[in-house]
Amino acid sequence: MTKPVETSTQDRNSQLLAEFKTTTGDVRVEDPKMRMDNVDVHYGDNQAIYGVDLDLGKNEVLAMIGPSGCGKSTFLRCMNRMNDTVDSCRVSGTFSLEGQDIYAPDQDVVLLRARIGMVFQKPNPFPKSIYDNVAYGPRIHGLASSKDELDHIVETSLKRASIWNEVKDRLDAPGTGLSGGQQQRLCIARTIAVSPEIILMDEPCSALDPIATASIEELIDELRQNFTIAIVTHSMQQAARVSQRTAYFHLGRLIELGDTNTIFTNPSHELTENYITGRFG
Amino acid sequence: MSEETINSRNTTAVVEAGLAKRYARERRFRLMGVAAVSVSVAFLAFLLISIFAKGIPAFKTTYVKLDITLDQKALRLPEQPSLQDLSRGRYDSAIKKSLLAQFPEVTSRKEKRALYKLVSSYASRQVADALVANPDLLNTTASIWVLADDEVAALARNADYTQNKKDAGTELIRTQIEQLRAEDRIDIRFNWLFFQRGDSREPEAAGIKGAIMGSLYTLMVTLMLSFPIGVAAAVYLEEFAPKNRLTDIIEVNINNLAAVPSIVFGLLGVAVFINFFHLPRSAPLVGGIVLSLMTLPTIIIASRAALKSVPPSIADAALGLGASKIQTITHHVLPLAMPGILTGTIIGMAQALGESAPLLMIGMVAFIVDVPAGVTDPATVLPVQVYLWSDSPERAFTERTSAAIMVLLVFLILMNALAVLLRKQFERRW
């Protein structure tokens, strides 16, 4: 790539952003789990997301990377309408879950969130026992018709979250008494107990140590078999390790989207390349 | 930056020079704090000691054993008296006769009148109770312990203020007391009557049960009204109310209501509940409604603060799982906010317990003898009882005023202990 006269990276990025028209790479997939079309998000008078098109494929892990404040968490939270709790947030565009617009007025938010689960940045187990934490979702949705069934759901979820062996003898202990990594795995178990179709993860490992992070990354790979996962991450190494496709966001715009390996070894857009090579962010 | 560089040796010297002054200032500040606390504790101790010193004598009462002839005809009782008949007999004359028999040297009319005042007018009730408990005593001469008059009781206890009374009448009573003592006919006991009876004209027979029950009923009504309404209002304002002008106006008004003088609520009670709705005067029901209006702002403000302090991550987790807003609030937010809500409620209740001005306006100032049996019976409350007794000149009522204050303090301590217990129950780590 030929460079013009030497300018600082900031100036160059602003220039590239001004020239930005459409996303580089293939945003569309065949038979997507969720399709996002021309999404704009405003917080009051500030626009946070500018015209993003994105498809989420079935049983894939899609990583969303980008510098701080680029809107990836905002975008993620729109996917299960968690931004409804923020008064000043206005979302336009379509989010279709298997053909159904989730922002339609007759869409039941409670049902939506039972189909699309979320794991948050800071582990937030309820101040209840480990069992009650995992059982809360199935209980309120009436997924278990007997105590035995509920026990089974709890056990399966804890096993799938790779934490069963550590807690099987103390299911009545408070969830908040676990270590950070264990708490996050408990939150993952809690989310999958409801058997959602999609799991959204908002920087799930940023508050954890490397060993806990590694165990969760392993977990994400296993979960891919049964769920579709969209993960926002600050760590490019993590995105490279767990995802199949990666989306690069920059100041509210989706700059590039493509196969993870390609993005990290041979990005097409200069903004992506600047970020990946650590020139900024 | 100037040319002069700041090197560490300069800084050390300067800091070292100023250290002594800084520490001296901190010492002075700490001493002021300790002094302030000591003064407060001293005043508190002074208050408590003076109340207890005045109030303890009220818990002691004097009984006199009299031999009373219970003749059926003299008592104007029918042939086969029922228990009801027994409780209605004329025991005054029997008591007077027994007193004359006990002190045969009393002859003059004046001395006789003084003698009859040896025992309380409540004594006839006590004789009736004894007979109802044991009807076989009829037509026998029974030895019954009856309540002594408050003046006699003071003299028997050798209370401080009686040392200076030296007139002939008092001297005579002193001799009579000595005589009774010699015959083991006088006894100083714990004043259980204080907790069993309502108010009375005679201080020795006056009790606080009426006021305690009145306070309990009033507080019950207050709690049952203000707690659910207050918490629900706080939840609505915090979670559901749209952010518009109307909500702002409501919030400002609630905050202002907390500062309204309590007597204004009394006026509201009289105008609306008594004059318009014709609810019974002096009833704990009306008192409770008035006090709950007064307590609502306190509970709402404390509950809102408690709800705000629940970390939003918990609510997010619940919503993310597909819980509805109401489920999130009832399953997660409210339980976590409970300690703060309960603290606010107990503070409100303690305030309500000590209120007298609004209750005076709705009529709970009357002299009420019977212990109330329900929320619509006329009643009085502890602070009002204190006020009524403090008006009376008898020394025994002064003692009882302090005793009533002690009972009020015990109530408050119990309520606070309950609050601490409940908070510990609900406290969770998150």
Q: Each residue of A63-110: pLDDT tens digit? A: 999 988 888 999 999 999 999 988 889 999 999 998 899 999 999 999
Burial class (CB in 10 A: 0-12, 13-18, 19+), B100: middle
| Interchain contact, B317 vs A87, CB within 8 Å | no
| Interchain contact, A125 vs B323, CB within 8 Å | no
Write the single-letter amino acid at A175. G
How much helix, strand and coil, in percent to the nearest 5, is found in chain A? 40, 25, 35
| Interchain contact, B428 vs A127, CB within 8 Å | yes
Residue that terminates a domain, selected from B17, B32, B56: B56
Strands (E) located in A24-152: 34-43, 46-56, 61-65, 89-97, 100-101, 116-119
State whether ipTM is beyond 0.85. Answer: yes
Q: Compare CB distances from B316 to A117, A120, A137 and report the shortest one's residue.
A: A120
Alpha-carbon torsion B375, B376, B381, B385, what sign? negative
Least confident of A255-264, B163-172, B253-262, B377-386: B163-172
**Which of A109, A115, A140 has the most B C-beta neighbours within 10 Å, making it the best mutation to test the interface with B?**
A140
- Are residues B134 and B182 both part of a single domain? yes
Crossing angle of helices B209-235 and B334-353, rounded to 10°: 140
| Interchain contact, A120 vs B317, CB within 8 Å | yes
Residue that terminates a domain, selected from B172, B201, B230: B201
Residue B130: its pLDDT value, please?
Answer: 86
Report helix, strand or coil for B343.
Answer: helix
Question: Residues in chain A whose beta carbon is closer than 8 A to a beta carbon of chain B?
Answer: 80, 82, 85, 87, 110-114, 117-118, 120, 122, 124-127, 136-137, 140-141, 174, 176, 187, 190-191, 194
Residue B428: its pLDDT value, please?
Answer: 57
Would the pLDDT of B382 be above 50? yes
Would the pLDDT of A10 be above 50? yes
| Interchain contact, A191 vs B321, CB within 8 Å | yes
A112/A105 Cα distance (integer angstroms):
13
A199/A225 Cα distance (integer angstroms):
12
The percent of residues above 70 in pLDDT, for chain A, comes to 97
Residues of chain B with Cβ-Cβ distance to A140 below 8 Å are 321-323, 327, 331
CB pairs under 8 A between A and B: 65
pTM: 0.81
Least confident of A248-262, B156-170, B171-185, B347-361: B156-170
- Are residues B258 and B218 both part of a single domain? yes
End-to-end distance of chain B based on CA atoms, in angstroms? 48
Q: Please answer whether residues B99 and B119 qualify as being in contact, where contact means their C-beta atoms are separated by less than 8 angstroms.
A: yes
Kindly give the residue spans of alpha helices, DSSP state H, lying in B236-272: 245-257, 262-268
Q: Compare CB distances from A194 to B321, B332, B430 and report the shortest one's residue.
A: B321
Nearest CA-CA distance, residue A213 and chain B, Å: 20
Least confident of A70-79, B150-159, B312-321: B150-159
B280/B276 Cα distance (integer angstroms):
11
- Are residues B50 and B96 both part of a single domain? no
Task: Please name the residue of chain A whose CA is at the shortest distance from the CA of residue B241.
Answer: A87
Q: Which is higher by pLDDT, B60 or A281?
A: B60
Residue A256: its pLDDT value, please?
Answer: 92
- Going from the C-alpha of A20 to that of each of A256, A265, A270, B19, the distances in angstroms are 11, 22, 11, 61
Mention every residue, 6+ apart, whose C-beta is less than 8 A from residue A24: A255, A256, A257, A258, A268, A269, A272
Kindly give the residue spans of alpha helices, DSSP state H, lying in B167-272: 168-182, 193-196, 209-235, 245-257, 262-268
Residues of chain B with Cβ-Cβ distance to A80 below 8 Å are 320
- Are residues B91 and B137 both part of a single domain? yes
Nearest CA-CA distance, residue B322 and chain A, Å: 5
Q: Which is higher by pLDDT, B145 or B90?
A: B145
Residue B278: φ, ψ to 5°: 55, 40
In the structure encoding, which two tokens stand for residue B138, read together?
Answer: 């009829």
Confidence of residue B228 (pLDDT cuts 50, 70, 90): very high
In the structure encoding, which two tokens stand for residue B189, read together?
Answer: 């006991």
B376/A56 Cα distance (integer angstroms):
68
Residue B430: its pLDDT value, please?
Answer: 47
Nearest CA-CA distance, residue A16 and chain B, Å: 37
Residue B327: its pLDDT value, please?
Answer: 95
pLDDT in tens, B237-279: 999 998 899 999 999 999 999 889 989 999 998 999 988 998 8
**Which of B243, B309, B319, B321 has the most A C-beta neighbours within 10 Å, making it the best mutation to test the interface with A?**
B321
**Per the structure, how many domains does chain B have?**
3
Residue B231: its pLDDT value, please?
Answer: 96
- Are residues B34 and B160 both part of a single domain? no
Residues of chain A with Cβ-Cβ distance to B332 below 8 Å are 126
Nearest to A229 by CA among A261, A191, A262: A191
Q: Which is higher by pLDDT, B294 or B138?
A: B294
Neighbours of B128 (CB within 10 A): 17
- Are residues B43 and B81 both part of a single domain? no
Q: Please answer whether residues B156 and B186 qualify as being in contact, where contact means their C-beta atoms are separated by less than 8 angstroms.
A: yes
**What DSSP designation does B278 have?**
-
- Are residues B240 and B193 both part of a single domain? no
- Are residues B50 and B164 both part of a single domain? no
B273/B281 Cα distance (integer angstroms):
9
B130/B134 Cα distance (integer angstroms):
6
Write the single-letter amino acid at B383. P
| Interchain contact, B321 vs A113, CB within 8 Å | yes
Nearest CA-CA distance, residue B335 and chain A, Å: 10
Residues of chain A with Cβ-Cβ distance to B311 below 8 Å are 124
Distance from chain centroid for Cα B421: 21
Q: Please answer whether residues A70 and A20 qualify as being in contact, where contact means their C-beta atoms are separated by less than 8 angstroms.
A: no
Q: Which is higher by pLDDT, B80 or A44?
A: A44
**What DSSP designation does A176 have?**
G
Q: Compare CB distances from B243 to A87, A136, A191 and report the shortest one's residue.
A: A87
User: Across the beta sheet with A61-65, what order do the strands follow?
Assistant: A116-119, A198-202, A228-232, A61-65, A245-250, A253-259
B101/B80 Cα distance (integer angstroms):
28
**Which of A76, A102, A126, A203 has the most B C-beta neighbours within 10 Å, making it the best mutation to test the interface with B?**
A126
Residue A108: φ, ψ to 5°: -80, 115
Q: Containing domain of residue B115, as a range? A: 61-201
Cross-strand partners of A36: A54, A95
pLDDT in tens, A155-176: 999 998 889 999 999 999 999 9
Task: Please name the residue of chain B whose CA is at the shortest distance from the CA of residue A128.
Answer: B428
Mention every residue, 6+ apart, whose C-beta is less than 8 A from residue A26: A257, A258
Write the single-letter amino acid at A276. I
- Are residues B318 and B343 both part of a single domain? yes
Would the pLDDT of B128 be above 60? yes
Q: Compare CB distances from A117 to B243, B320, B327 and report the shortest one's residue.
A: B320
A102/A117 Cα distance (integer angstroms):
14
- Are residues B191 and B257 both part of a single domain? no
| Interchain contact, A176 vs B430, CB within 8 Å | yes
Confidence of residue B153 (pLDDT cuts 50, 70, 90): confident
pLDDT in tens, B9-28: 688 888 888 999 999 999 99
**A74: enclosing H helix or E strand:** helix A72-79
Q: Compare CB distances from B313 to A87, A117, A124 and report the shortest one's residue.
A: A124
| Interchain contact, B323 vs A140, CB within 8 Å | yes
Crossing angle of helices B168-182 and B109-116, rounded to 10°: 60
Nearest CA-CA distance, residue B397 and chain A, Å: 54
Strands (E) located in chain A: 34-43, 46-56, 61-65, 89-97, 100-101, 116-119, 198-202, 228-232, 245-250, 253-259
Residue that terminates a domain, selected from B201, B217, B239: B201
| Interchain contact, B317 vs A85, CB within 8 Å | no
Q: Please answer whether residues A257 and A14 qualify as being in contact, where contact means their C-beta atoms are separated by less than 8 angstroms.
A: no
- Going from the C-alpha of B316 to that of each of A131, B235, B337, the distances in angstroms are 19, 17, 16
- Going from the C-alpha of A176 to that of each of A82, A180, A203, A206, B368, the distances in angstroms are 24, 9, 20, 18, 56
Tokens 């037509």 sit on residue: B139
Report helix, strand or coil for B130.
Answer: helix
- Are residues B399 and B258 both part of a single domain? yes
pLDDT in tens, B67-76: 888 887 777 7
Residue A1: its pLDDT value, please?
Answer: 55
Q: Please answer whether residues B419 and B350 qualify as being in contact, where contact means their C-beta atoms are separated by less than 8 angstroms.
A: no
Mention every residue, 6+ apart, whose C-beta is less than 8 A from residue B62: B147, B148, B152, B153, B156, B157, B186, B187, B188, B189
Nearest to B318 by CA among A84, A95, A110: A110
- Are residues B386 and B251 both part of a single domain? yes
CATH code assigned at B227: 1.10.3720.10
Question: Residues in chain B whose beta carbon is closer than 8 A to a beta carbon of chain A?
Answer: 243, 311, 313-324, 327, 331-332, 336, 428-430
